[in-house]
């Protein structure tokens, strides 16, 4: 019986002994702890997810596209309104800036839809002969003649001894170029660094690191160092990588050592970067779900297993938790893994670099320092950070809220027994301003935490400039709003000799154009002449169109239209979407009825009518068009340079790729086939 008793005790104690053995049987690396190979894994096997294959794309069942209403006919009655011009509309017109401008005053000019180069004094350096020009740094530009381009200095001299389909100057003053064979790399003087032959080359400049991302094909690439001598065969695009420092990259739970060109940890362990400064990460044991603190090279910082480890702050500290009595208890560790505050709190949060919000085992909250010195008593229900200087300490008893504002510099109460359960700092006004919440109502406070808003509201929103919008939501989807400034002064609008300070909705579109929707449902535009023009459409949003004095409008429900600065309707809200006009192309993207998509010109006409169900700008004044799930390319004059018969079309540099089944064709910017 005595022997059985001893065996039983050993069995019961085994889990406890195991938990201590992890800490007492010291190991130095994560590789020893998890029995992993320290050699890592070859990054060339670490592939990015591939896109849907062209075969799958082309074999999809095609649906015949039906066109909706004839949008040409609808717009005809509004087109003349776009051409109206008066002193008011002229105020909105912006002079077109030259595409190319240098510090010495030399700039581009346009004549007969061609571009040239002219000095500040008016001497023509290059006559208008180029289809497209692109600024490339302070000393040169790229200019296209038809389908080919060259690099020119700011005095108009041609730099390269041959033309290319595409040229881009990098921040390292090298030139990415494209021939019919593919992409290559030159010095700025034209010396070949990499012979053209690649599908694509991009420059990558992150965290003081520079690489070339070179694609052999659309889905296969590698990285080439700035000196073009070191390669990293990592098939992951730059946008998916976090460049931690000059030694390590990170992607989706994996650390990559770019010196050894290996993944640090294999076998699917999840890694989280906690400090780039100290090269610290956590690694999660997939069996126990516990985390360990390690250096990026795999060295263990401590043998202590954690339930959680937060990221390290600039003060070199992080909140961490271990499991005690099946609960997570929190403390603070330094970058060497040592406890600065022993794990004893059920919740812990940094308020700034020296103060923390702590909750003890009795679920009471207080403020402590990083040296675990109490700043406030543990007597609060919870504590909320206001900003780096203040915290709101809240007591809740019998649904009654009483809160204190604590100065985080010295721990003193600067306000006591307030009714607020939340205070947050705003980004409005020239001095500190706050939004406070109490009993489902919000109000605005000044830097001394005194109320400045005219009333309390269901919600307080930011208005334009230094204004707020206080809104009360009423029954039956009704609402009332007031606009007030940083001094609490209400905005008033005069309509038909009557002043209003409460609205259903109010928006200052420009200083000379306001839109008001009253609670009665009556809407008005108040223009520069202080005229109230009735317009009862429930506009949710109005923004400048970047053209003349036209504004893009969106009503509640999401339908778009256009008005002018006088509040007059140019196009009623009949579109699913209208964008602002692009300053360069002078086109606005539209979506009429999910079947008809394209562009509107600044003159109110459809770019290519309604011949195509969808139009998309590629570049260089070329447009991809679509009908019946087939694609083609048009130039800006509407000429079909690539017929609408391909299953897929895309622009790569200065070459257009067109896919039909498994066949792939290449065309230049004029639509000529490239062998």
Q: How many Å apart are CA 411 and CA 366, to the nearest integer?
A: 11
CA 412 to chain centre: 40
What would the two tokens of residue 332 be? 């603070």
pLDDT attached to residue 294: 97
Q: Phi and psi for 72 in degrees, rounded to 5?
A: -55, -45
pLDDT attached to residue 647: 96
Least confident of 2-16, 333-347, 486-500, 567-581: 2-16
Q: Does the pLDDT of residue 55 top 50, yes or no?
A: no
Q: What number of helices (H) and strands (E) belong to the chain? A: 5, 59
Mode of pairing for the β-strands spanning 365-369 and 382-385: unpaired
Mean pLDDT for the stretch of residues 461-477: 91
CB 290 within 8 Å of CB 258? no
Q: List, as own/partner pairs, every contact residues 306-314 make where C-beta atoms lie below 8 angstroms and the sequence separation is at least 24, other chains included.
A: 306/282, 309/272, 309/274, 309/282, 309/333, 310/274, 311/273, 311/274, 311/275, 312/274, 312/275, 312/277, 312/278, 312/280, 313/350, 313/353, 314/353
CB 471 within 8 Å of CB 480? yes
Mean pLDDT for the stretch of residues 469-495: 92
Helix (H, G, I), strand (E, B) or coil at 208: coil
Helix (H, G, I), strand (E, B) or coil at 248: strand
- Domain spans, the chain: 1-32+241-335, 608-675
Q: How many Å apart are CA 360 and CA 529, to the nearest integer?
A: 64
The neighbour count for residue 76, using CB atoms within 10 Å, is 12
Q: List, as own/partner pairs, every contact residues 504-508 make where C-beta atoms lie below 8 angstroms and the sequence separation is at least 24, other chains included.
A: 504/478, 504/479, 504/480, 505/479, 505/481, 505/538, 505/539, 505/540, 506/469, 506/481, 507/464, 507/539, 507/541, 507/542, 508/463, 508/464, 508/465, 508/467
Least confident of 71-80, 122-131, 286-295, 450-459: 71-80
What would the two tokens of residue 3 be? 């022997």
Q: Does the pLDDT of residue 613 top 70, yes or no?
A: yes
pLDDT digits (tens, 9 = 90+) for 84-113: 665 556 666 666 778 899 999 999 999 998
Q: Does the pLDDT of residue 496 top 60, yes or no?
A: yes
Q: Which of 344, 373, 349 is nearest to 360 (CA)?
A: 344
CB 633 within 8 Å of CB 619? no
Mode of pairing for the β-strands spanning 280-284 and 441-445: unpaired
What would the two tokens of residue 440 be? 């489902």
Residue with the two structure tokens 């609402």: 479
Query: Which fold would CATH assign to domain 608-675?
Result: Thrombin, subunit H (2.40.10)
Helix (H, G, I), strand (E, B) or coil at 334: strand
More confident residue, 450 or 60: 450
Q: Does the pLDDT of residue 10 top 90, yes or no?
A: no
Confidence of residue 13 (pLDDT cuts 50, 70, 90): very low
CB 468 within 8 Å of CB 462? yes
CB 623 within 8 Å of CB 634? yes
Q: List, as own/partner pairs, every contact residues 259-265 make where C-beta atoms lie below 8 angstroms and the sequence separation is at least 24, other chains included.
A: 260/40, 261/42, 261/43, 261/232, 261/233, 261/234, 262/39, 262/40, 262/41, 262/42, 262/43, 263/40, 263/41, 263/42, 263/43, 263/46, 264/40, 264/296, 264/297, 264/298, 265/30, 265/36, 265/40, 265/298
Q: Does the pLDDT of residue 61 top 60, yes or no?
A: no
Q: Dump the DSSP string for 531-557.
A: -EEE----EEEEEE-SSTTEEEEEETT
H, E, C per residue of 143-200:
EEECCEEEEEECCCCECCCCCECEEEECCCCEEEEEECCEEEEEECCCCEEEEEEECE
When the pLDDT of each residue in the chain is averaged and rounded to a whole number, the result is 88
Indicate the Cα dihedral angle 32, 36, 41, 45, nearest 10°: -160
Mean pLDDT for the stretch of residues 660-673: 94
**CA distances to 220, 222, 340, 375, 378 from 355, in Å:** 49, 46, 13, 9, 14
Q: How many Å apart are CA 170 and CA 258, to the nearest integer?
A: 22
What is the 8-class DSSP label of residue 18?
A: H
Q: How many Å apart are CA 282 and CA 285, to the nearest integer?
A: 10
CB 392 within 8 Å of CB 376? no
Q: How many Å apart are CA 299 and CA 287, to the nearest integer?
A: 20
- Please list the residues that pair with 577 across neighbouring strands: 591
pLDDT attached to residue 631: 97
Q: Which of 179, 181, 232, 162 is nearest to 204 (CA)?
A: 232
Cα three-residue angle 206-212-217, rounded to 5 degrees? 125
Mention every residue, 6+ apart, whose C-beta is less than 8 A from residue 373: none
- Please list the residues that pair with 436 across neighbouring strands: 423, 443
H, E, C per residue of 564-584:
ECCCCEEEEEEECEECCCCCC
Q: Select the highest-mean-pLDDT range: 367-371, 464-468, 523-527.
A: 367-371
pLDDT digits (tens, 9 = 90+) for 409-457: 888 999 999 999 999 999 999 999 999 999 889 999 999 999 999 999 9
CB 107 within 8 Å of CB 100? yes
Q: Does the pLDDT of residue 349 top 70, yes or no?
A: yes
Phi-psi region of 370 (alpha: psi -120 to 50; beta: other; left: phi over 0): alpha
Mention every residue, 6+ apart, whose C-beta is less than 8 A from residue 157: none
pLDDT attached to residue 60: 40
**CA distances to 248, 344, 587, 658 from 651, in Å:** 33, 59, 20, 9
- Please list the residues that pair with 597 across neighbouring strands: 591
pLDDT attached to residue 77: 80
Mention every residue, 6+ apart, whose C-beta is less than 8 A from residue 244: 207, 250, 273, 276, 279, 296
Mention every residue, 6+ apart, whose C-beta is less than 8 A from residue 392: 383, 384, 385, 386, 403, 404, 405, 406, 420, 421, 422, 423
- Please list the residues that pair with 256 across neighbouring strands: 249, 263
Share of the chain above pLDDT 90, in %: 67
């Amino acid at each position: 019986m005595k022997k059985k008793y001893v065996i039983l005790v050993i069995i019961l104690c085994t889990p406890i002994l195991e938990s201590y053995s992890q800490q007492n049987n010291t190991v130095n690396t994560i590789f020893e702890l998890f029995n992993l190979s320290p050699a890592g894994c070859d990054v060339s096997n670490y592939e990015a997810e591939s896109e849907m294959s062209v075969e799958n794309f082309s074999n999809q069942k095609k649906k015949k596209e039906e066109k909706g209403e004839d949008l040409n006919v609808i717009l005809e009655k509004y087109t003349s309104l776009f051409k109206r011009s008066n002193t008011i509309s002229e105020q909105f017109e912006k002079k077109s800036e030259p595409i190319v401008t240098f510090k010495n005053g030399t700039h581009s000019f346009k004549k007969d839809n061609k571009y040239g180069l002219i000095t500040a004094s008016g001497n023509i350096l290059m006559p208008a002969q180029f289809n497209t020009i692109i600024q490339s740094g302070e000393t040169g530009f790229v200019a296209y003649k038809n389908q080919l381009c060259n690099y020119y200095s700011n005095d108009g001299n041609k730099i390269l001894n041959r033309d290319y389909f595409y040229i881009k100057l990098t921040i390292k003053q090298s030139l990415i170029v494209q021939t019919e064979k593919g992409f290559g790399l030159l010095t700025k003087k034209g010396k070949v660094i990499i012979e053209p032959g690649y599908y694509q080359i991009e420059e990558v400049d992150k965290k003081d690191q520079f690489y070339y991302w070179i694609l052999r094909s659309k889905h296969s690439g590698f990285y080439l160092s700035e000196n073009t001598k070191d390669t990293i065969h990592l098939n992951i695009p730059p946008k998916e990588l976090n460049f931690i420092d000059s030694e390590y990259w990170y992607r989706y739970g994996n650390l990559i050592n770019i010196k050894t060109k290996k993944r640090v940890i294999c076998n699917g362990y999840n890694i989280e970067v906690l400090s780039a400064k100290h090269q610290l990460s956590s690694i999660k044991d997939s069996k126990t779900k516990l985390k360990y603190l390690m250096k990026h090279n795999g060295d263990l910082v401590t043998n202590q297993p954690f339930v959680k480890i937060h990221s390290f702050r600039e003060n070199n500290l992080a909140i961490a938790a271990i499991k005690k009595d099946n609960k997570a208890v929190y403390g603070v560790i330094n970058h060497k893994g040592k406890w600065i505050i022993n794990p004893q709190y059920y919740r812990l949060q940094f308020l700034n670099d020296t103060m923390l919000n702590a909750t003890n085992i009795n679920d009471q909250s207080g403020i402590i320092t990083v040296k675990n010195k109490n700043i406030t008593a543990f007597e609060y229900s919870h504590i909320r950070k206001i900003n780096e200087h203040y915290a709101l300490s809240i007591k809740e008893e019998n649904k009654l809220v009483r809160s204190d504002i604590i100065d985080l510099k010295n721990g003193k109460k600067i306000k006591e027994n307030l009714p607020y359960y939340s205070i947050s700092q705003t980004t409005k006004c020239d001095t500190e301003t706050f939004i406070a919440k109490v009993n489902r109502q919000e109000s605005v406070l000044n830097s001394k935490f005194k109320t400045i808003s005219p009333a309390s509201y269901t919600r307080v929103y930011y208005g334009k400039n230094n204004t707020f919008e206080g809104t009360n939501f009423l029954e039956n989807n009704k609402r009332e709003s007031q606009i007030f400034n940083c001094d609490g002064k209400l905005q008033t609008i005069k309509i038909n000799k009557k002043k209003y300070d409460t609205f259903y909705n109010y928006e200052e579109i420009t200083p000379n154009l306001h839109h008001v929707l009253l609670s009665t449902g009556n809407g008005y535009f108040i223009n520069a002449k202080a005229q109230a023009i009735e317009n009862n459409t429930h506009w949710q949003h109005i923004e400048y169109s970047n053209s003349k004095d036209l504004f893009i409008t969106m009503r509640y429900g999401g339908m778009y239209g256009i008005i002018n600065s006088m509040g007059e309707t140019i196009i009623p809200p009949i579109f699913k979407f209208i964008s602002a006009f692009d300053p360069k192309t002078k086109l606005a993207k539209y979506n009429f009825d999910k079947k008809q998509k394209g562009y509107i010109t600044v003159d109110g006409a459809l770019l290519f009518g309604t011949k195509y169900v969808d139009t998309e700008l590629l570049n260089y004044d070329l447009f991809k068009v679509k009908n019946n799930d087939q694609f083609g390319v048009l130039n800006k004059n509407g000429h079909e340079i690539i017929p609408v018969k391909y299953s897929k079309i895309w622009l790569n540099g200065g070459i257009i790729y067109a896919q039909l089944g498994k066949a792939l064709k290449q065309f230049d910017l004029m639509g000529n086939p490239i062998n």
